[in-house]
Structure 1
Amino acid sequence: MPQDAARRIAFQGELGAYSHQACREVFPEMEPLPCPTFEEAIAKVKGGEARLAMLPVENSLYGRVADIHHLLPESGLYIIGEHFVPIRLQLLGVPGAALDHIREAQSHTVALGQCRRFLKDRAIRPVIGADTAGSAALVAEAKNPERAAIASRLAGEIHGLAVLAEDIEDAAHNTTRFLVMSRQKIEADPQGGLAMTTFVFQVRNVPAALYKAMGGFATNGVNMTKLESYMTDGSFTATQFYADIEGHPETEPVRLALEELGFFTNHLKVLGVYPASPFRGRD
């Protein structure tokens, strides 16, 4: 891998997006590489143009990120870490703008929905933009003191906008979980504290297969923090499951649980074994 590529981390979105913020928080020494799609961010790592990718997988308000669970198993990349970003939304205006004079606020439709109460109380008209960071760029370019953007503080810094109102989101617990992806398989130390294991599987076409497959996790005391199903290849009968569990496959409980799972599946693929984020320990 070229030296420059070894310092790059790819993400979907523009500079100033929350994915960019996640990159900066975890890998401040790396060069962020913005990409228009998740597929391109993955391709940059597979093709050797970046060493890592930072991909959002779920949000505490809106659930899983669309399409990401289809992309991860076929990406050819490994999950080597996770990071949680509390989503703090700022009202950003051009320098000299005043909050009382703002008439419109532009942002991604999801971000606008997360600030519904603030916008209503201030009689500010929501304007739908392609994304948060892009909206900040457009507001900076327009130089209209009556139009603001709703985006991250980082987006404001990048585009020279002033924070007119901070943390305007309706729900303080709004958080997005990101996964760090790499071509290199790097697994957590079995003795290095709590690890997460992510895998996908398909159950055999027998009665109560999923119920039986889950039994091994219960009997071995393994905590499953996530289990989601989605169709594969457009079939209504071929269902794939995506799961996160606490624990390392080299520990006895997880080893036994995965072994029992294997009796009831016709496909099982571990996507990554990585250190659990300290965020998981918060109340």
Structure 2
Amino acid sequence: MTKGRIAFQGELGANSHEACLAAFPDMEPAPHPTFEEAFEAIKSGDCSLGMIPVENSIAGRVADVHHLLPSSGLKIIGERFKPIHFQLMVNPGVRLEDVQVVQTMPIALAQCRKTVRRLKLRAETVGDTALAAKLLAQKPDAHRAAISPALAAEIYGLEILLRDIEDERHNTTRFLVMTADPNPPPPPFTAPCITSFVFRVRNIPAALYKALGGFATNGVNMTKLESYMENGAFTATFFYAEVDGRPEDRGLARAFEELQFFSERFEVLGVYPADPFRDRG
């Protein structure tokens, strides 16, 4: 018996599916075609959690998610870093020398371009890595391969010809664990924590400079600061940020007090344990 469902964007076999299994093996992964639908599944209670990718060490931030995150109404309760590995897979019995075309999503193709170039394959793009494997299984082709995670080969009955074909070994995606609970339990007191928040500065001179000054003077480490357009306006007054620590920490509490003085909107999106992966390397 599972402890509920966890939403992710993509087909069964996607990297997000693998991330769900690794972090929450007792939960049932629930695929959704779009990020909007995954977020809605969490908000509606159909899924108790969500596993949402927000950035990749090579491709950068996931634009759709950063557009949805501040207005989602969801809370962040965890983060997971997942090393990304791609496999070249084919229908059973197909030989590597017979493959002429490879299909996958554009980001995966860009991350495996050296292998694709070396094998002199013609590339075709689809919307999701696992979808590439699913389509190949549905319509077998002796001259076609897919670039997908290993789980997709297992799910769709494909054979892996080449393993771990990504160009960069440091290829890593960061996921956020989301909940619709407006007041989730606080993380263990002993755990190093990250606090994510959004804010909109007041329309006064040097507002951003003054709003952020408290983090420096109170010794708070800000690890992320990103601006956003709101309602199509070409003004970067809305920000998503992450800092080390908890809001009740003395230094961060003072920094937030100063930030709010110069902001017209401020909201904490989550306080959650830092993934130990951060300490590697």
Would the TM-score normalized by the shorter structure come out above 0.5?
A: yes
Give 2:241's aligned residue.
243
1:274 aligns with 2:272: yes
Aligned to 1:111: 108
Secondary structure in 1 matching 2:63: coil
Consecutive aligned runs of 4 or more in structure 1 exceeding 6 Å deviation: none
Aligned to 2:78: 81
Matches within 5 A, 1:26-65: 26-65=23-62
**1:77 Cα deviation after fit:** 1.1
Unaligned runs of 5+ in 1: none
Determine if the alignment matches structure 1 residue 171 to structure 2 residue 168. yes
Q: Structure 2 CA distance, aligned partners of 1:107 and 1:70? A: 24
Measure, in 2, the Cα distance between the counterparts of 1:96 and 1:72.
Answer: 44
Aligned to 2:131, the other structure's residue is in SS state helix
CA distances 1:231-282 after superposition (whole Å, capped 9, x unpaired):
1122223621000111111111111111111111111000000111111111
User: TM-score w.r.t. structure 1 length?
Assistant: 0.95
Distance, in Å, in 1 between the alignment partners of 2:167 and 2:249 is 41
Structure 1 vs Structure 2 CA RMSD? 1.5
Question: Pick from 204, 213, 222: which aligns with 1:215?
Answer: 213
Question: Between the two proteins, what is the percent identity of the paired residues?
Answer: 56
List gaps (5 residues or longer) in structure 2.
none
Alignment of 1:140-179 (within 5 A): 140-179=137-176
Confirm or deny that 1:197 pairs with 2:195: yes
Q: Does 1:21 align with 2:18?
A: yes
Which residue of 1 is the match for residue 230 of structure 2?
A: 232
Structure-1 separation of matches of 2:128 and 2:19? 16
Aligned amino acid, residue 126 of structure 2 = G
The one-letter code matched in structure 1 to 2:55 is: E
How far the C-alpha of 1:189 sits from its partner, in A, is 3.3
Give, in angstroms, the shift of residue 187 of structure 1.
4.5
Contact 1:195 1:274 in 2 (8 A): yes
TM-score (norm 2): 0.95
Letter matched to residue 252 of structure 2: V
What corresponds to 1:257 in structure 2?
255
